[in-house]
Amino acid sequence: MRFRDFISSVMFSVLLNLMILNLIFGVQRAFSSQNLNEQTLELLMRPSIKKEGKFLNYHQERNPTMVKGFKLMWKFLFSDNQRKPKQKLPVQPVNLEIFKQNSKDYLSSTWLGHSFLMINVDGYHLLTDPVFEKKFPFSVPAATMAKFP
């Protein structure tokens, strides 16, 4: 248990430091021609994205100042504006019998919430990021473990 706590605290520290460094030095450019190989540069130098020998950036580049970054983070973390849905999110019942019937003939998949997918490929049932408990406060699981083939 101590090792797990140590790893958790190290990961938290690393993430916190990365967030702080990103706020301070996080001027991220949308495009840089210095890191591209010759073939990619040729493709990108077509007239449609170049004007007077310079690349065009179709999206306005955002370079927020550190103060604006802190204000945005403060608003995100401590504002109560729309942090909870106004009504309960609907949950559609899932018919998992379809996966048993189409086991070898079809590729089938269904989304069961968040990043939880059930995929059937050649009779193999794959689950991605399964969550069988109510961890997310806005919705309930779409299926229980007992319902799976």
User: 40-94: per-residue pLDDT in tens?
Assistant: 666 666 555 667 777 776 656 666 677 788 888 888 888 776 667 778 777 777 7
DSSP class of residue 108 equals: E
Provide the residue ranges of all domains of the chain, joining segments of one domain with +: 2-78, 97-147
pLDDT, position 139: 56
Q: Could you tell me the CA-to-CA distances from 42 to 47, 49, 50, 71, 78 in Å, in that order?
A: 11, 12, 11, 41, 47
33-39 long-range contacts, Cβ below 8 Å, gap at least 24? none
Q: How confident is the model at residue 131 (pLDDT cuts 50, 70, 90)?
A: low
Give the lowest-confidence range in 7-21, 99-113, 134-148: 134-148
At 30, the pLDDT band (50, 70, 90 cuts) reads very low
